[in-house]
Amino acid sequence: MEISADLVKELRSKTGAGIMDCKAALKETQGDLAKAVDWLRMKGLKTAEKRIGKSAKEGLVDSYIHPGGRIGVLLELNCETDFVARTPRFQELQKDLMLQVAASSPRYVNKEDVPADVLGKEREILRAQVAESGKPAAIIEKIVEGRLEKFYEEWCLLEQLFVKDQNTKIKDVVKQAIAQLGENIAVRRFTRYQLGQE
């Protein structure tokens, strides 16, 4: 089947994928645009998983001041090359992440950043809350672990639901950008300032 340049261009504008990838996707799906988008996403996310271990030492530090000037965010977002750091897609991701930090007040980037003493104290509180239920110890531990997931979703940036799409976690938004840009991307650190708060 012959794939037209217009179809390739349309798929490229929808997905941000490279020309050769768009051609391959359209050939694989016999020119079906919707299926080609899905095919690229599946291929891209597989590629993204492989890229996650790559070193990401380039990138940008940027700032966001919320309208009204009461909340500000500084965020360092890393990638593998300075070329990718200058792309509109990378900068769009960084703005989305800063908006997320401003709106949702996370304390940590990911689960691994939560200090052991904070996690221990949270487990202790959760166990105390559940202990009065009279359930067996094994069940209590499962409940505690389930509630810890809620803790992570509230306080860890990558575990939060995206403010622009409540069906997607931030870690998946980052994976989608990795798939589109073809480089590992990592949130290194952030600081959120709110007027009058320490």
pLDDT at 14: 65
pLDDT at 56: 73
Say which CATH number the domain at 15 has. 1.10.8.10
Q: Are residues 74 and 139 in the same domain?
A: no
Q: Are residues 26 and 85 in the same domain?
A: no
Q: Are residues 104 and 164 in the same domain?
A: yes
What is the pLDDT confidence band of residue 145, given thresholds at 50, 70 and 90? confident
Residue 35's domain spans which residues? 5-51
Instruction: Give per-residue pLDDT as tens, 162-174.
Output: 999 999 999 999 9
Instruction: Give per-residue pLDDT as tens, 14-35.
Output: 665 666 777 888 888 888 888 8
Q: Are residues 149 and 128 in the same domain?
A: yes
pLDDT at 158: 96
pLDDT at 31: 85
Query: DSSP states of the chain as a string?
Result: -PPPHHHHHHHHHHH---HHHHHHHHHHTTT-HHHHHHHHHHHHHHHHHHHTTS---EEEEEEEE-TTSSEEEEEEEEES-HHHHTSHHHHHHHHHHHHHHHHH--SBSSGGGS-HHHHHHHHHHHHHHHHTT---HHHHHHHHHHHHHHHHHHHBGGGSEETTEEEEEHHHHHHHHHHHHSS--EEEEEEEEETT--
Q: Which residue has the higher pLDDT, 135 or 144?
A: 144
pLDDT at 90: 95
Instruction: Give per-residue pLDDT as tens, 40-68.
Output: 767 665 554 555 556 678 999 999 999 99
pTM over 0.75: no
Say which CATH number the domain at 160 has. 3.30.479.20
When mean pLDDT is compared over 23-27, 46-50, 104-108, 192-196, the highest value belongs to 104-108
Q: Are residues 169 and 180 in the same domain?
A: yes
Q: Whole-number mean pLDDT of the chain?
A: 86
What is the pLDDT confidence band of residue 143, given thresholds at 50, 70 and 90? confident
Q: Are residues 47 and 17 in the same domain?
A: yes
Residue 193: is its pLDDT beyond 90?
A: yes
Q: Are residues 161 and 99 in the same domain?
A: yes
What is the pLDDT confidence band of residue 74, given thresholds at 50, 70 and 90? very high
pLDDT at 124: 87
